[in-house]
Amino acid sequence: MNNSQKYYINTLQKCVVIAFIFLINVSCSKPKEEEQENSDKKTDILTLSAEQVKNAHLVLGAFDKTTISDEIKANGIVDVPPMNMASVSIPISGYVKSTNTLPGSPIKKGGVLATIYSMDYIQLQQDYLQAVSRLKFLEQELERQNVLSKEDIGAKKKLQQADSEVSSMKAQTKALALKLELIGCSIEKLKKGQLSSSINITSPIEGYIKTANVSIGKNVAPTDVLFEIVGNTHKHIELKVFENDINKIKIGQKIVVEHPTFSEKPMMATVFLVGKNVEADSKTINIHGHIDDEIMESKLTVGQYVNTKIFTGKRMVNTLPETAVVIHNNGGFIFIQTKENTFQQIPVKIGTTEKGNIEVFTEKNIDNQQIVKQGASILQAMLASSE
């Protein structure tokens, strides 16, 4: 094979390779071109036949003018004021003799929570009776010295001493009596010689037992909290509102408490207090709300978690029924009629929803357009299938 023949063959091979590569590129690019063509065909315009419009049962109309309540969502808990909570302890050391209480049990004011044995209590009663006896003796001695001082000038010093001892013993006796009364001892019974080795711990308020930290034989001290009592009245809600919404909250605004217990009839409350301090960690402020209905209030449980809506005002806005809006992500779409049997998809932003009415915002003014108020989801499905 001579050089000219080799050159011819090499040239021919190169041409074949180039042609092959060209065909591959053409075949690969064709679907992309078709895809681009299909993409170009995508539109927000939908044209239907008269029969399709009839079968879709479309309802056309303009925006509704609706008064919408502005609201702020807030979470919180059910609570009671400090005067309706009690931490119960005993001001003397002892041992638990008996208790019949359980957490969650109801308790009346003055009801017995537990009984305590106390040697210190016995000693305190003894000290009081001895002080009473000593005071009686000193008072008699004071009377005697008073008589003697009238007859003998030198006896005045003894009179002053006797008077001082009486005053001191009166103070001691009074202090012991106050200590005993604080424990719950009857001074009148004690003066009659009725001593006791046990003390009844009673509830200072009516409510239910939240915690009980006692057991038979347990040693208790004045620093121990033995019971926690929560009252049943004056329940309220403590809410957390973000600092960005603080200026919208005013005393007297209405609150809807959302809870499965009140699904048929919502529980209403009223803003009673607005906190003055922003919590550094959560960037929230406390809102104190009072329940409007006492019967509903009684159904709440202290510590219960609640979701609420605080109504901050009202305004007139453009709304459409839910059947007019196709929700998509944080926004949605509506359809307007551009000409007979032809509809255009319009993107909208969603505002407040209330009683089936949706507040919508559009980029351009369509107040004079006919809007599809029923059947938007059907048109959306048709538009999607036509693409």
CATH of domain 85-118+200-231: 2.40.50.100
Q: Assess contact for 236 and 80: CB atoms under 8 A.
A: yes
pLDDT 10s digits, 326-342:
998 888 999 999 999 99
Q: How far apart are CA 256 and CA 199, in angstroms?
A: 47
Task: Quote the CA–CA distance of 183 and 179 in Å, as a whole number.
Answer: 6
CB atoms within 10 A of CB 376: 24
pTM of the predicted model as reported, rounded to 2 decimal places: 0.63
Structure tokens at 150: 């009238």
Q: How is the chain split into domains, by residue range?
A: 45-67+315-386, 72-81+232-313, 85-118+200-231, 120-196
Domain 72-81+232-313 has CATH 2.40.30.170: yes
- Length, in residues, of the chain: 387
User: Taking Cα atoms as reference points, which of 107, 146, 27, 68 lies closest to residue 311?
Assistant: 68
Q: Letter for the amino acid at 133? A: S
107, 210 in Cβ contact below 8 A? no
What's the whole-number mean pLDDT along residues 105-134? 94
Per the model's pLDDT, the better-predicted residue between 153 and 7 turns out to be 153
* pLDDT value for 154: 60
Q: For the residues 4-20, what does the mean pLDDT come to?
A: 38
pLDDT in tens, 33-59: 444 444 444 578 999 998 998 898 999
Q: In this predicted structure, what is the pLDDT of residue 264?
A: 73
Confirm if 261 and 305 have CB atoms less than 8 A apart.
no
Question: What phi, psi does 329 have (nearest 5°)?
Answer: 55, -125
The correct CATH number of 45-67+315-386 out of 3.40.50.1860, 3.40.50.880, 2.40.420.20, 2.40.110.10 is: 2.40.420.20
Compute the distance between CA of residue 261 and CA of residue 280 in angstroms, rounded to an integer: 33
- Between helix 156-183 and helix 119-151 the angle, nearest 10°, is 160
Q: Rounded CA gap, 287 and 135, in Å?
A: 58
Give tens-digit pLDDT for 187-206. 999 988 899 999 999 999 99
Instruction: For residues 213-229, give the mean pLDDT.
Output: 95
DSSP string, 186-252: -HHHHHTT---SEEEEE-SSSEEEEEE---TT-EE-TT---EEEEESSS-EEEEEEEGGGGGG--TT
